[in-house]
Amino acid sequence: MSEIKTKQLRELVEAAFPELDTVIGWEAGYDALHTTPVFIKDAKDIGKLVWNPLCVRNLSGYLVKTPPVQSADENKKIGIFVKGCDSRSIVALIQEKFITRDKLYIFGVPCQGTIDWRRVMKAAPLKNIQSVKMDEKQLVVEDADGTHSFALEDVLARKCLRCAYPNPLMYDVLVGEPVAPRVTVKNAYKDVQELENRSLEERLAFWTKELDRCIRCYACRNACPLCVCQDRCIAETREPKWLSQYMHTSEKFLFHFIHSMHLAGRCTECGECERVCPMGIPVTLMKEELNKITRELLNYEAGVDPNAVPPLLTFSPNETGI
């Protein structure tokens, strides 16, 4: 299945390549269990592109993070591969006018889930990985100790198990047929609901235990396509000084409160912040909570409608729903 899609996507890139400056996609990584982003500038490299459930990285951040990938030739576009969740980041960036649609050629990939290697390693501590095979139901890894099979559901990323948008919402060409979503938008917040069902004391204990592990490396911020303050981030400014260098839990809470509030009604739940956290902290969960509240109060969901105005970019003295 993945091989067929990889062949198809290379053909689609080849057909569009004359109007493209660069194509941002995925290629094989340092071992068979990983892929890595690739920037194709020369048609002879199109054969490097791959698609499979190991293509975890949301590539849209490359369009806005410093330095952004831009076309040197104004008549050419940037080609980019997006899964359903990634396409919402593109829509949100267009909504906030960080990028324009006419400069992009979007290759949309319907997606049935991506693999969380941490869940794989937790299930079996693999070493010297030799080969990886996948079908719609399982992942089979061969390593120095032999063959290990994992049910896909047991090793998919948490965001994939609650994914309501597996099909790209914006694209120029679709690679393969649309797939059925796992859940509806309405029941995509069961993890948040589970947390909300606990008492305030239990929730405080949960987040204290989680955030106490935070080493303030800011990988979560750096990986987020919508975290765009860059050098002006409150984590680094000294005028005004919001955060000290102390590693107290209170400082960690403050960083995450501000970080999450800046993403309220903007976060598209792409899960990049959670994926890159070296301490395994479920940081997307905080943004999910704020998104759930935004949906309930303002009937708004980020990254779905390119013409909608995000609530924090608008203001009404007679706000309804609050």
**259 SS3 class:** helix
Least distance (Å) from ligand SF4 to the CB of residue 235?
8
Does the protein bind ligand SF4 through residue 226 (CB under 6 A)?
yes
Does the protein bind ligand SF4 through residue 160 (CB under 6 A)?
yes
Strands of 35-40's sheet in order across: 35-40, 20-28, 77-82, 104-108, 173-174
Instruction: For the chain, give the number of residues.
Output: 322
CA–CA dist 51, 4 (Å, integer): 9
CA–CA dist 242, 261 (Å, integer): 14
Least distance (Å) from ligand SF4 to the CB of residue 19?
26
Does the protein bind ligand SF4 through residue 169 (CB under 6 A)?
no
Which of residues 35 and 114 has its CB atom nearest to ligand SF4 in the complex? 114
Binding to ligand SF4, residues 103-122 (CB under 6 A)? 111, 113-114
Of 133, 164, 139, which Cα lies nearest the Cα of 152? 139
Omega prior to 67 cis, within 30 of 0? yes
Query: Which residue from 129, 219, 254, 308 is in contact with ligand SF4, where contact means CB under 6 A?
Result: 219
Least distance (Å) from ligand SF4 to the CB of residue 293?
15
The helix (run of H) or strand (run of E) holding residue 36 is strand 35-40
Query: Which residue from 273, 285, 301, 311 is in contact with ligand SF4, where contact means CB under 6 A?
Result: 273
Does the protein bind ligand SF4 through residue 281 (CB under 6 A)?
yes
- Show the DSSP H helices in the chain as ranges: 2-16, 84-95, 117-123, 152-155, 158-161, 190-196, 200-211, 219-223, 249-262, 272-276, 284-298
Applying CB under 6 A, the span of 37-45, 127-135, 146-154, 217-225 interacting with ligand SF4 comes to: 217-225
Does the protein bind ligand SF4 through residue 20 (CB under 6 A)?
no
Which of residues 47 and 178 has its CB atom nearest to ligand SF4 in the complex? 178
Q: Which residue has the tokens 């190991």?
A: 54
Binding site for ligand SF4 (CB under 6 A): 83-85, 111, 113-114, 157, 159-160, 163, 166, 214-220, 223-224, 226-227, 263, 267-273, 276-279, 281, 283-284, 287
